[in-house]
Amino acid sequence: MADRIAPASPELRDFYSARTAWRSAGEERMRFRKATALARVPAGAAVLDIGARDGGLRAFLPPSVRYQGIDIAPEFARPDVLIRDISKGIPFPDGSYDFVFCIEVLEHVPNPFATLAEFHRVLQPGGVLILSVPNPYHFKEIIWNLFRIPDRQGHIYGWTRQTMTRLGEMNGFRLERSGGTYLHPPIPIWALLARSIVYRFVKT
């Protein structure tokens, strides 16, 4: 496994290593269900999962997909999860994947523009990027901003639908559709009030 572990930014690595136990099974299930419903991944597709943790998304995909995860925290190292800081690039050839999933990760990445450029590079022509980020209009975000509650989740950026659409366009993607995840598990909700928004982009 040692040859599958690349150096990461110490600050980023240590921050997320300290939080490997942070998770809500209900939130993860609702995110994964919404993301895979928008993706419509066919059998046999090549899938890259960014910020994979322990590969939980894999259970929501067809059994025959060719799955590869990437995560920054060494605690998640396993045969199908490569440990790497994606801000240093993605170590796969151009056009390697049919689908890239990036679920609740982009808001943590120091250079999101360059990260989307890497997603575009590793996707085949017509490939699909499924990207979810926190909704800046969710009541938690509004309350935290209103009362200046310090961020403990490592969020560096926030995006509206307009700015996410533009970020995608500047990196060669076309937004096809989007949807909300949940108000609070297990309550599904439309995008305006959802905790996070899932976007389906297509490589142009």
The predicted pLDDT at position 8 comes to 55
**Terminal C-alpha separation, the chain:** 36
Mean pLDDT by runs of 10 across the 204 residues of the chain is 49 77 86 97 98 96 98 94 94 98 93 96 98 92 86 85 96 97 88 93 97
Structural contact between residues 48 and 97, judged by C-beta atoms closer than 8 angstroms: yes
The residue type of 111 is: N
- 142: domain range? 2-203
Tell me the torsion sign for CA atoms 144, 135, 20, 5: negative
For 179, the token pair is 């949807």
What interhelical angle do 161-170 and 112-122 show, nearest 10?
50
Which three-class secondary structure state does DSSP give residue 65? coil
Q: What is the CATH number of the domain that holds 123?
A: 3.40.50.150
Burial (CB count <10 Å: 0-12, 13-18, 19+), residue 95: middle
The predicted pLDDT at position 4 comes to 45
**Rounded to whole angstroms, how far apart are CA atoms 79 and 84?**
13
Q: Which residue in 24, 36, 203, 20 sits closest to 103, CA to CA?
A: 36
Phi, psi at residue 124, to the nearest 5°?
A: -70, 160
Structural domains of the chain, count:
1
For the range 140-146, what are the long-range contacts, defined as Cβ-Cβ under 8 Å and sequence gap of 24 or more? Answer: 140/195
Return left, alpha or beta for 104; rule: phi > 0 is left, psi -120 to 50 is alpha, else beta. Answer: left
The predicted pLDDT at position 11 comes to 74
In this prediction the pTM is 0.90
**Rounded to whole angstroms, how far apart are CA atoms 10 and 143?**
31
Phi, psi at residue 81, to the nearest 5°?
A: -130, 110
